[in-house]
Structure 1
Amino acid sequence: MHPWLSALLGGVLIGLAATWLLWANGRIAGVSGIVDGIVRRSSWTEWGWRAAFVFGLVLAGGVAMHVVGQRALSPASWPVLVVAGLLVGYGTTLGGGCTSGHGVCGVGRLSKRSIVAVLVFMATAIATVFVVRHVLGAAA
């Protein structure tokens, strides 16, 4: 399977899952908000669907890794992964949501706040790649 085809398939599945969650539950598929509801110990019905959603993400990732034959989660060390996770958590708090919530769900609902957030995410990513590749000279 071509890489662009698997990316397209993954994007379609994410869009369908986000649409289904909104239609079936009236909930937005922003992962940071879903995890926040688990951590804050919401009611059992709320906790249940949130836990099922996160479990499904982990399960689907594991199945995808098995299908493509990838054995390692990341080449980074565990301390780097922990620090990265904490920084992502801080960033989602600072940004009022995560990229999935803003990009997939917010833009799809034409939320002005989400459109601005996605533009900031993209500009930051572009600037970071430029600095890492062209200023610091790191390999791709």
Structure 2
Amino acid sequence: MHYILNPWPWYVSGPLIALVMAFLLYFGKTFGMSSNLKTLCTIAGAGKFADFFNFKWKDQVWNLTVVLGAIIGGFVAVQFLSNNSGTDLNPATITELQNMGFKNPGATLVPNEMYDIDVLASPKALIILVIGGLLVGFGTRYAAGCTSGHAILGLSSLQKPSLIAVIGFFIGGLIMANFILPLIF
């Protein structure tokens, strides 16, 4: 059952995020999705193969609620908070995307040409997926955290390395969107 609702406005979701960050800072906890992957790999026994995964994973089990929350939150958002509207794109962006081969830019939240399950049948898409995954994994490890950890927790706790990382994320995003994506499509 789908209910037609608009996304939460910034003045509701923003303070809620700030409240969660205040609680995390107060209790001395960190936040980020990449730390959950490290915890899951450690639970699975990766410490037998790499010292990086040798740590007390039971101290980080609380952080796995972030993964559970993302899964449940995604389900709730799609099933109950989605109004099935597309993405409101600038006409110039629509033209650029159509020139790259995207058929209906903005008609869906994410383009089917990149995120549809049928795309995985393409060797080109698989290569892009593998290379992209390796780059994200390397970047996350090199930056000592992911975009959510640095941009939400790191910036809210005024950490200079997080500011540098977030600037790097934006520069990388601009390079990808303006130079690499047109070469791929």
C-alpha distance in 2 between matches for 1:103 and 1:109: 10
Partners of 1:35 and 1:50 within 8 A in 2: no
Deviations 1:5-60 (A, max 9, x none): 55665444433333323324x11112212331232136574243122221111111
- AA aligned to 1:118 is V
SS at structure 1 position matched to 2:116: coil
More helix by share: 1
Q: 2:172 is matched with which residue?
A: 124
Q: Structure 1 residues 7, 90: CA separation in 2 closer, same or farther (over 3 Å shift)?
A: farther
What's the TM-score, normalizing by structure 1? 0.71
Letter in 2 for 1:88: V
Task: Output aligned runs, 1:80-99, within 5 Å.
Answer: 83=130, 84-99=132-147
Structure 2 CA distance for aligned equivalents of residues 12 and 75 of structure 1: 33
Per chain length, whose mean CA-contact separation is higher, i.e. which structure has more relative contact order (CA < 8 Å, sep 6+)?
A: 2
Q: Deviations over 1:51-104 (max 9, x none)?
A: 22211111111111112166x994254557963444422321122110111111
Alignment RMSD (CA, Å)? 3.4
Say which SS state the counterpart of residue 144 (structure 2) adopts. coil
User: Unaligned regions of 5+ residues in structure 1, if any?
Assistant: none
Per the alignment, residue 19 of structure 2 pairs with 16
Give the 4+ runs in structure 1 shifted more than 6 A. none
1: CA distance, partners of 2:136 / 2:162: 17
Instruction: Report if aligned partners of 2:39, 2:61 keep a CA contact under 8 Å in 1.
Output: no
Q: Does 1:56 align with 2:65?
A: no
Q: How far apart, CA to CA, are the structure 1 residues paired with 2:184 and 2:69?
A: 39
> Any stretches of 5+ residues in structure 2 without a counterpart?
44-54, 85-108, 121-125
CA distance in 2, matches of 1:44, 1:96: 17
The answer on whether the counterparts of 1:35 and 1:54 sit within 8 Å (CA) in structure 2 is: no
* Residues 100/44 of structure 1: CA separation in 2 closer, same or farther (3 Å cut): closer
**Percent pairwise identity:** 29
Distance in 2 of aligned mates of 1:8 and 1:132 = 35
Counterpart of 1:108 in structure 2 is 156
TM-score w.r.t. length of structure 2:
0.56
Q: 1:56 to 1:80 in 2, by over 3 A?
A: farther
